Structure 1
Amino acid sequence: MRHFLHVFAILCLLTGANPSLASDVIYAPGSRIGLVPLIGLNPAKTFPGFETADQRVKVVVAELPVAAFRDVETVAKSNAADPRGLKPQGLETASGPGYFIVETAKNGEDNVRRYSMVISGGTFSGYVAAQVPENVGKIYSDEAVQKMFATVALRKEVPLEEQLGLLPFKLSELSSFKLIRTLTPGAVILLSDAETENNIDGSAFIIISPIGSVPERPDDRSRFARDVAATIPNLREGRITMSEPIRINGSPGFETRIDGTNTRTNTPVTVVQWLVFGSGKTAMRLIGSTPRNEWSDVFPRFRAVRDGILPR
């Protein structure tokens, strides 16, 4: 139930909106989740979802682990009662059955209606959340929001050009990686040799993401590189084999290599972490991981991706 009860955005007063639907499914930029929004809602600029021009009314979409849908489906089909009397209700959508709940809550001093729905995307769960102030409930009624939720559609892939176009940097070299997946639209991207998302940990992959609050003093960067390397997920028995400053495309950087074991596949892996320091306290972080017996073949590809990152 925790997947349903988490609402990502705070919605405020909506005035003058028409509760009718637009004509076509619109996918949130960089997301595999789309819907036919109610009139007045447009793709948001700062988060995956939709909002009004005054940025006060929002509908948020998110991709959750595949287990989220199964968990909610189990609750919906059971006789278990939630302490608050909430139970997911079935809803047929454009992409198959979903489950939604509606609840009344407080947002500060305002009474609000909250709507949440989850739907299976096969390899992920699609999640949609909305919140409507009580004083506009006649405009954005339960029926209107439910009709909007029924239009939710899932696409198998986000077009590559769309994913790359949202990034704050240019990625000019993909180095023959097969699977390209945005982890955080407009910020974090993964490239992998895996055929499907379920096999990523058993294949070579590289994750590229911005990172903030990095030390400005060169003398502090060695310790920082080791500290953040220790936070790499799904890695145990990690042993740093190299950690030293380098230049990357003319910018100061730091390379750290680690031998360890992937906790999900229980296989030996070699990991490289690059930090590319920018202006102020910002940096780009790249984490490449590959089965250890493939390191000599994959490392040049990791490096080609790294060297192909260009400013916009």
Structure 2
Amino acid sequence: MKALSAAAFGLVLSVQAAFAAEPVFPPASRLGLVPPQEMTLSKRFSGFESEERAAAITFAEMPAEAFKQLSSGLTKEVLRKQGLEMKSRENVKLGSKTGILVSTTMTKEMGRKWLLLVKDETMTGLVVAQVQGGQDGYSDAQIRDALKSVAVRQNVSLEEQLSALPFQIGEKAGFRPVRVMAGNSVLFTDGPKDAVKAMEQPMMILASSLQPPPPPGERRKQFAQAALYANQVLKNIRIERSESFRLKGQDWHEIVAKAVEAESGQPIVVMQSIRFDGNRYVRMVGLTREEQRDQNLPRFRAIADGIETAF
């Protein structure tokens, strides 16, 4: 009987271990993995985090054709411009999928970052792991084991992805959602095409923050302007209006500017509205051709006003 009990106990442990090794998928995400110990699903983004160990793993899903462009950018020179020093780059096998795993150290602060590019017939996955501080967070081996456990599941409907966002969209103003990104942002457009070139259709992105906002006051104006100028899609930005105000008991900062779409050279108008909500914020960026500004700027504002947060 004792032998039988020991065998049964061993079987239970082996079954538990098998279940523990199953990939965990964030809500509405096609990407999942076996997270490191004490890392749990994030409520702020699509992925996992451990505040105690100052570590996070985030997921982003992109079109399949993005793999070639993204992989060509994983070079020492490009990463160095982003404050990362490459330690290694390798091709990895991820079940039936393949990928590229890059290990780096942060040059502007103490920490390590890993970039995993996942190739699938229907999508490109980008998994980013970050551990701030030294080896007392997670070891390199622990993070690598987690990243190499990445799995891809079948398509998740756009409706399910929208329902998992940390905010609700009350007013679409004639726009339609095209894609949810990283579990915290959504792309909208108005027109028949999902992939928009030369701003032939107006576009808008709504995103909730992953980091706390700056404190109230002049720093928020500086923060908002810096966020706009950091946009890689735009060049020759000329601010027409930049103002802070309160609406429905919350602080806002809104910018309207003229710019040029970098790839096509198309003159456009951009509206950026940031709503500060406690220790989080929601950022809306709307882009439209100059000749359509009077039509689309009020629509951008209507969508921003209709956002309900679940922070």
**If the TM-score is normalised by the length of the shorter chain, which range does it land in?**
0.5 to 0.7
Q: Does the aligned pair in 1 maintain the 2:213–2:280 contact within 8 Å? A: yes
Q: Corresponding residue for 1:214? A: 214
In the alignment, structure 1 residue 205 sits paired with structure 2 residue 208 = no
Superimposed CA distance per residue, residues 256-292 of structure 1 (whole angstroms, 9 cap, x where no aligned partner): 210110112321110011233444x654322111122
Q: Which amino acid aligns with 1:118?
A: V
Q: Does the aligned pair in 2 maintain the 1:123–1:198 contact within 8 Å? A: no
SS of 2:196 mapped into structure 1: helix
Instruction: Tell me how far apart the structure 2 counterparts of residues 204 and 160 of structure 1 sit (CA, whole Å).
Output: 22
SS of 1:20 mapped into structure 2: helix
Identity of paired residues, percent?
21
Q: Which amino acid aligns with 2:180?
A: T
Q: Corresponding residue for 2:9? A: none
| Residue 91 of structure 2, aligned match among 67, 88, 93 | 88
Q: Which amino acid aligns with 2:189?
A: S
Within-5 A mapping of 1:46-61: 46=43, 48-49=46-47
Q: Which amino acid aligns with 1:287?
A: V
Q: Does the aligned pair in 1 maintain the 2:28–2:164 contact within 8 Å? A: no
> CA 1:99–1:185 in structure 2 vs 1: closer, same or farther (change >3 Å)?
closer
Q: Corresponding residue for 1:261? A: 260
Q: Does the aligned pair in 2 maintain the 1:214–1:282 contact within 8 Å? A: no
What is the aligned-residue RMSD (CA, Å)?
4.9
Q: Does the aligned pair in 1 maintain the 2:61–2:126 contact within 8 Å? A: yes
> CA 1:180–1:223 in structure 2 vs 1: closer, same or farther (change >3 Å)?
same
Q: Corresponding residue for 1:293? A: 291
| Residue 192 of structure 1, aligned match among 189, 194, 197 | 189
Q: Give the CA deviation at 1:126.
A: 5.5
Within-5 A mapping of 1:296-311: 296-311=294-309
Q: Corresponding residue for 2:165? A: 166
Gaps of 5+ in 1: 1-15, 74-83, 104-113, 137-141
Instruction: Tell me how far apart the structure 2 counterparts of residues 271 and 302 of structure 1 sit (CA, whole Å).
Output: 10
Q: Give the CA deviation at 1:296.
A: 2.2
Q: Does the aligned pair in 1 maintain the 2:27–2:164 contact within 8 Å? A: no
In the alignment, structure 1 residue 284 sits paired with structure 2 residue 282 = yes
TM-score, normalised with respect to structure 2: 0.59
Instruction: Tell me how far apart the structure 2 counterparts of residues 50 and 251 of structure 1 sit (CA, whole Å).
Output: 29
Q: Corresponding residue for 1:32? A: 30
Q: Give the CA deviation at 1:242.
A: 1.9
Within-5 A mapping of 1:54-203: 62-63=59-60, 66-68=65-67, 88=91, 93=96, 97-99=97-99, 118-122=118-122, 124-125=124-125, 127=127, 152-167=151-166, 169-186=167-184, 188-193=185-190, 198-199=195-196, 202=199, 203=201
Q: Which moved more, 1:41-50 or 1:259-268?
A: 41-50
How many residue pairs match? The answer is: 260
Q: Does the aligned pair in 1 maintain the 2:91–2:98 contact within 8 Å? A: no
Q: Corresponding residue for 2:241? A: 242
Instruction: Tell me how far apart the structure 2 counterparts of residues 294 and 64 of structure 1 sit (CA, whole Å).
Output: 31
Q: Does the aligned pair in 2 maintain the 1:260–1:270 contact within 8 Å? A: yes
SS of 2:173 mapped into structure 1: coil
Q: Which amino acid aligns with 1:254?
A: H
Q: Which amino acid aligns with 1:119?
A: K
Q: Which moved more, 1:190-199 or 1:288-297?
A: 190-199
Instruction: Tell me how far apart the structure 2 counterparts of residues 298 and 228 of structure 1 sit (CA, whole Å).
Output: 21
Instruction: Tell me how far apart the structure 2 counterparts of residues 91 and 223 of structure 1 sit (CA, whole Å).
Output: 43
Instruction: Tell me how far apart the structure 1 counterparts of residues 100 and 254 of structure 2 sit (CA, whole Å).
Output: 46
Q: Does the aligned pair in 2 maintain the 1:25–1:153 contact within 8 Å? A: no
Q: Corresponding residue for 2:271? A: 272
Q: Does the aligned pair in 2 maintain the 1:272–1:287 contact within 8 Å? A: yes
Instruction: Tell me how far apart the structure 2 counterparts of residues 89 and 224 of structure 1 sit (CA, whole Å).
Output: 39
Superimposed CA distance per residue, residues 53-87 of structure 1 (whole angstroms, 9 cap, x where no aligned partner): xx99x9956336644467769xxxxxxxxxx9985
> CA 1:196–1:125 in structure 2 vs 1: closer, same or farther (change >3 Å)?
farther
Gaps of 5+ in 2: 1-12, 73-86, 104-113, 130-137
Instruction: Tell me how far apart the structure 1 counterparts of residues 280 and 57 of structure 2 sit (CA, whole Å).
Output: 28
Q: Which moved more, 1:152-161 or 1:250-259?
A: 152-161
